[in-house]
A and B are shown apart, each in its own frame.
Chain A
Amino acid sequence: MNPFRRRARTPAAALDARVFDPLCLTMAVVLAVHAPHLPAWLTAVLAALLGLCWWRRRRRRRVVPGWLKLPLLVALGAAVVASYGTLFGREPGSALAVGLLVLKLLECETPRDARVGVSFACFGLMAALLFGQGLVATVVVALGLLPALATLRALEPAHAWAGLPRELLPGATLLGVSLPLAALAFLLVPRLDTPLWGAPNDAQATTGLSDSMSPGSFTDLLTDDHPALRVSFDGAPPPPEQRYFRAYVMWRYDGRSWRHAPYARDDGAPVPLVGRDPLRYRVDMEPTGQRALPALDAPIQVPAGTRLSRDLEVVRERPVRDPLSYGMQSVLRYQLEASLSDAVRRRALQLPPGFNPRALALGQDWRRRYGADDAAIVQAALALFRDGGFRYSLAAPPLGRDAMDDFLFGTREGFCEHYASAFTVLMRAAGVPARVVTGYQGGFWNRMGEYLLVRRSDAHAWSEVWLAGRGWVRVDPTAAVRPERVSLGAAAAAGDQLGWSHAGWLQGLRDRWDIVNRWWNQGVIGFDALRQRGLLAPFGVRDADARTLGLLLAVASAACAGLGLAWALWRRGPRDPVLAAWRRLESRLARRGLARRRGEGPQHYLRRAARALPAQRQELEELMRCYLELRYAHHEPPPELARRFRRAARDFHPRRVVK
């Protein structure tokens, strides 16, 4: 074997710019769609390398020496290991794949290299979707297929190159044509109930609410306009002031932050909740990476795979990593935990020793003043917030060690977290059992789509106090300061602090866009094994198993193949309209037994026809004259003559021959 055989390829097989340009573009798209999760410096280096490869090829300097490639490869591996600590896993794997793809450009010398590059670029595009499968990301990735297809087309010989932008169009046509088959395959490819190998690792950063809260921690969240929930109700939606979606209940306060006790109170006892008139609704939830499912206050029936804690938190077995859709029932008027055990009461009164002395003193003062009337103490606290010169602001000043003292008696400026936290501390100081609840409040009613859109910026914190005879009662101290927060929503409460992005004219666009996103989440991303099994329910198949689906997929593919073959075999008739008209005329005459004989010209044929059909002799002779003139009298026959002939041929119907 000659080791140099591969090098001795014909120079004609070398790639030229029309292959290399779309190939570089493909790689650039792959790099771009992976850029959000690659280290910035790696993206920059790879982009520079890509640009260098392209420029080198422009300058016709062909082969990159081997001694350069190997160190680059080693450097790439070292960089990935240095950055992530490993070569395996989703992020390091994709970084390595993108890096290898760009390095592949260095040695793209033959059509085979280019084809291998395009294949792996397709894989790289798909891998980008593992990091986020939103509508925009998917469309961008799908557009990345266009330069890949253009590269493959450019590799074919004797292909008239129309310039890069125009070369992208046929690929778009091909993808568009194949969409019906793709949609059928997408619907019918049997989904897996359980993954074949390890599910993706959960390094994904959690977004949205977290299970702890300290005053000021929501600031990022309150300016984040990403959707968190979309809720559609059976029947009328609850009024705005009832739209509290609870996620976490927090008991422990350490002087700085409130913490969620990880479901310690669950002893399997039934939830002591009494309520009437359950409200059914369906929630489409964006992934959070957490186990809590927000539920309208107060949930009484929870979806499968979740359980309801005694604090009315809905907890899922696995974290929510993909968009999730679930149905629930809640009651708006309820009584929770009519009696409180001593252990629970102790936890509900816990305060860290040595913090917030002034707040403690104020609470104890209220207790002395109002005696055993817990409700009066609650009213006193709300009155303090309402009338004590407190302001609602997203840009709250920082607080010191005795955070609640600083807030209550110093800055008096903050948002829901500050108020809920201060209120709960005051209640506990006064001896009223209290706890903090976080979740979402409000939301925007999308009239077009008839659902409630809850954004991350609708995150809210409020308090619950336990009152004898009424159980846990929701108290929202923020509403005392800023009633609009509850009745109109977070955007109204923030006033002009959110800037132009909330302008009215944008709202309509945003509504429509959100409907599209919701449709995408529900229809595409949320289409799982369960929904696939119910796919055929309208057609009488109760539980479509993999066998049925496979059979249907085969039938659908065969139908698509039949349509495609019909297209491929379809041959256009003559382009010449005069000829087409003449053929029609011929076939009409042939049906009356006047088929044109072999070797019979139009003149003889129509004369014979006129003899056979004496009643229509004039018409036939006129047709013949017209046709002969069209065919033989002019170099370029006048269009009106052609029109006249076509009209006459169309209107000519041979009458039955009388014998």
Chain B
Amino acid sequence: MRQALRRLQQAAERRLPALTRYRRPEPLPIELHRRRIYIVPTGFGLGFGVLLLVMLLGGLNYANNAALLLTCVLGAAAAASMLATFRALHGLRLGAIQAGQAMAGDPLAVTLAFESAHPREALRVSLDRDPAAAAFAVPAGRAEVTLRIATQRRGWQALPRLRVWSTWPLGLFRAWSWLHPQQQVLVWPRPEVSGPAPAAPDGTRQRPRLHHGDDLATLRDYRGGDPLRHVAWKASARHHGLLVKDFEQPQVLQEWRLDWRELPGLDPEARIARLARWLGEARARGLRWSLWLPGDPIGTGSGQAHYARCMSALALLP
């Protein structure tokens, strides 16, 4: 049944290009206007309509004008709520999309920034063919809502179609619109679960051995924030300002040189997975590392930003 419906839908989309006009990707910002907002009664709305008919018949049959008036008021309010539902979407703008970072297989957080001239409530956005919806409200101005997109493989991934919908205010009507932003998100490769450690890099420059943090290295001027117990009181007494004993901090002494070329005999995806794992380990241990990739050698660095740069480079390998 569902299969048949889907086939019917696809056939209709092939035949009637107007149906698909707003299904093609389009650049940001996307503003919802009347030509792309659809509205139908919900199941509850249909049931409520039947109830109104029953009430109308009852009022007419018993020639009870007060009941008839009440029914008319309720019916008119239901009709007016349709306009309110439409207005909940009309004029809404999808201004920007910010993608998070995720490895293939993990959900990727995508933050949508909506803009509106007047406050809106009870909007919902969901991915095409995904029943889970994120609810959000937009005050006059801007609001962000985060969706999670399933990822499968590394590399650029086009955003799926988004459905923005609302049943505000009474749940009698559902207005919806399709958003298909021309935007891609980058999915990082998934690291392998386990494997060998990187080979000890040859020619590692051994820095002078760094001491654990209780060996006095030198004296320097006091700077704001220095702990008082590090102040060299005796030495300070002979000086104008305070002197502070500077201790050697334990430092990253190791530097990993990760190199695509040093992993022969593996197929490219396995190489990428291994490099990704090493990158993760290096970041977790606080090491410094460099990464050589074909066509994209990346220098030495450490920290989250460096990690992200290396992972993105891995993701983009052919």
Hey, which bits of chain A sit against chain B, CB under 8 A?
111-112, 115, 119, 122-123, 125-127, 129-130, 133-134, 137-138, 141-142, 145, 149, 152-153, 155-160, 170, 174-175, 177-183, 185-186, 189, 191-192, 195-197, 199-200, 322, 524-528, 557, 560-561, 564-565, 567-569, 571-572, 575
Contact = CB atoms under 8 A, between A and B. Distances in A.
26 contacts: A111-B171, A115-B44, A115-B171, A119-B44, A119-B47, A123-B55, A126-B59, A129-B66, A130-B64, A142-B73, A152-B169, A156-B167, A156-B171, A158-B121, A158-B136, A174-B169, A181-B79, A186-B68, A192-B60, A192-B61, A192-B63, A196-B60, A199-B62, A322-B63, A524-B65, A572-B117
Contacts of A158: 121-124, 135-137
Given A115-B44, A115-B171, A158-B135, A189 B60 contact: yes
B64 A133 contact: yes
Given A122-B51, A178-B79, A185 B72 contact: yes
Interface in B65-92: 65-77, 79-81, 83-84, 86-87, 90-91
Given A156-B167, A158-B123, A138 B72 contact: no
B118 A572 contact: yes
A652 to B, nearest CB: 28
A528 B63 CA distance: 7
Contacts of A560: 76, 79
Contacts of A196: 57, 60-61
Identify the 8 closest CB pairs spanning chains A and B, nearest first: A133-B66, A157-B135, A178-B76, A156-B122, A181-B76, A158-B135, A182-B76, A182-B72
A156 to B, nearest CB: 4
B51 A119 contact: yes
B48 interface: yes
A560 to B, nearest CB: 8
B150 interface: no
Contacts of A195: 61-63
Contacts of A528: 63, 65
B171 A152 contact: yes
A319 to B, nearest CB: 14
A200 B58 CA distance: 11
B7 interface: no
Given A138-B66, A152-B169, A174 B81 contact: yes
Contacts, number: 165
Nearest to B45: A115
Contacts of A160: 121, 137
A564 B70 contact: no
A569 B76 CA distance: 19
B169 A153 contact: yes
B235 interface: no
Contact of A122 (B55, B80, B86, B117): B55
Contact of B170 (A130, A149, A557): A149
A572 B137 CA distance: 20
Interface string B33-67: 01000000000100110010011111111111111
A126 B60 contact: no
Chain B CB within 10 Å — which of A123, A133, A191 has the most?
A: A133
B51 A123 contact: yes
Q: How big is chain B's contact interface, by range?
A: 35 or more
A235 B171 CA distance: 56
Contacts of B58: 126-127, 130
B70 A142 contact: yes
Contacts of B81: 174
A182 B66 CA distance: 12
B168 interface: yes
Interface in B81-109: 81, 83-84, 86-87, 90-91
A119 B52 CA distance: 9
A564 B79 CA distance: 10
A157 B124 contact: yes
A119 B74 CA distance: 11
Nearest to B138: A158
Given A156-B168, A178-B76, A137 B122 contact: no
A476 to B, nearest CB: 38
A129 B70 contact: yes
Contacts of A200: 62
A199 B118 CA distance: 51
Given A126-B70, A158-B123, A174-B80, 9 more contacts: A119-B48, A126-B59, A133-B67, A145-B74, A159-B122, A177-B77, A181-B76, A196-B57, A569-B34
A182 B170 contact: no
Interface in B156-203: 167-172
A133 B83 contact: no
A182 B75 contact: yes
Given A156-B167, A185-B75, A568 B69 contact: no
A130 B62 contact: yes
Contacts of B74: 122, 145
A626 B313 CA distance: 51
A174 B69 contact: no
B137 A130 contact: no
Contact of B91 (A111, A112, A115, A571): A571
A29 B86 CA distance: 31
Nearest to A152: B170
Contact of B80 (A123, A526, A527, A564): A564
A134 B65 CA distance: 10
A122 B169 CA distance: 17
A524 B69 contact: yes
A149 B172 CA distance: 11
Contacts of A189: 56, 60, 68, 72
Contacts of B118: 572
B76 A179 contact: yes
Interface-central residue, A153, A197, A524, by most chain B CB under 10 Å: A153
A580 to B, nearest CB: 14
A191 B63 contact: yes
Contacts of B59: 126
B70 A141 contact: yes
A119 B171 CA distance: 12
Contact of B64 (A129, A153, A155, A197): A129
Nearest to A529: B63
Contact of B86 (A156, A191, A525, A568): A568
Contacts of B123: 158
Contacts of B90: 568-569
A138 B169 contact: no
Nearest to B166: A156
B67 A130 contact: yes
Contacts of B136: 158
Contacts of B87: 568
Contacts of B84: 174, 568
A186 B124 CA distance: 36
B89 to A, nearest CB: 10
A170 to B, nearest CB: 7
B271 to A, nearest CB: 42
B60 A191 contact: yes
Contacts of B34: 569
A159 B72 contact: no
A630 B63 CA distance: 66
**Which has the most chain B C-beta neighbours within 10 Å: A122, A526, A527, A565?**
A122
A87 to B, nearest CB: 18
A568 B56 contact: no
A170 B169 contact: yes
Contacts of A122: 51, 55, 74
Contacts of A127: 58
Contacts of A525: 65-66
Contacts of B135: 157-158
Contacts of A130: 58, 62, 64, 67
B65 A126 contact: no
Contacts of A191: 60, 63
A13 B313 CA distance: 43
Nearest to B122: A156
B68 A564 contact: no
A182 B177 CA distance: 30
